[in-house]
Amino acid sequence: MADIPFDKRDGFIWFNGELVPWVDAKIHVLTHGLHYGSSVFEGCRAYGGEIFKLQEHSERLVNSARILGYEIPYTVEEINEACRAALKAQKLVDGYVRPIAWRGSEMMGVSAQKNRINFAVAAWEWPSYFDMEQRKKGIRLEMAKYKRPSPETAPSHAKAAGLYMICTISKHAAENNGYADALMLDYRGYVAESTGANIFFIKDGVIHTPTPDCFLNGITRQTVIGLAKKRGYEIVERHIMPDELGSFSEVFITGSAAEVTPVGEIAQHRYTPGEITFNLLADYMAEVNPKVAARASA
């Protein structure tokens, strides 16, 4: 399945109110969302037939659209049901769910006041975002060329497609250089996040993580912070300078796609995934899939 192009796959996609054959879920080449980035999306994972934190993802999707100046023509609950329907239509128990909303093709130009707001949901099998062998020893990150923008120059708290352009550029550059991903700084020069995940650092048993004031406060990030506090770990949210990178002992990233992934290297700095990272990885997997966790501990 991984080798099949996404426009050639079998099954169904929930598209503007109904399930349509996967290959028929098409838009016009002059769609505003394609030309001007007026689309917002979410990435959710389903474990054991349940979409983790679906309510939070749907609420964020609606809010992202509002930040971009439009209303998705479905309620949060209707979006939830569309996501569940797409997952069920694909006969998936574990999988990735991608709801997306965008301005259509009624007007072409920067202004698109009369364009229809379209909404779709696709679901597919997607194993770990990073190769399991990489995850065990910690993935390698290089420093990205581009920085996360100021909230005064871009809608940085929306999960908007246009904001991912610099992420794709940065991830491709990292992969071409033999790395798994890239670490991005923000517009002030503070450590921000990787191209698609939040980041955490560990020093002397304390967990440090960048303040999400110009990038997404990820749903997985919030979940892991809660799990860390439950274990009694101290969490410090603060601005982190790049020259601190060599002072940490453990590093990991979090995201719906990445889940909890240890980091073994950032540029010239080396880390050894340890007890705190692996505890939180185990806690997270138990949180998202309690039925599997219960079987494993039986």
d(C-alpha 298, C-alpha 292), whole Å = 10
Asked if 291 is an active-site residue, the reply is: no
Closest CA to 202 of 289, 134, 138: 138
Candidate list 91, 137, 159, 171, residue with the active-site label: 159
d(C-alpha 116, C-alpha 271), whole Å = 49
d(C-alpha 264, C-alpha 131), whole Å = 14
d(C-alpha 156, C-alpha 12), whole Å = 32
Intra-chain end-to-end CA distance of the chain, in Å: 33
d(C-alpha 298, C-alpha 289), whole Å = 15
CB pairs under 8 A, 24+ apart, for 207-212?
A: 207/233, 207/234, 207/235, 207/236, 207/276, 208/236, 208/237, 208/238, 208/240, 208/248, 209/235, 209/236, 209/237, 210/186, 210/237, 210/238, 210/239, 210/240, 211/237, 211/238, 211/239, 212/237
d(C-alpha 214, C-alpha 156), whole Å = 5
Q: What is the 3-state secondary structure (H, E, C) of 195-232?
A: CCCEEEEEECCEEEEECCCCCCCCHHHHHHHHHHHHCC
Helix segments in 91-198, DSSP class H: 132-137, 165-176
Catalytic residues: 159
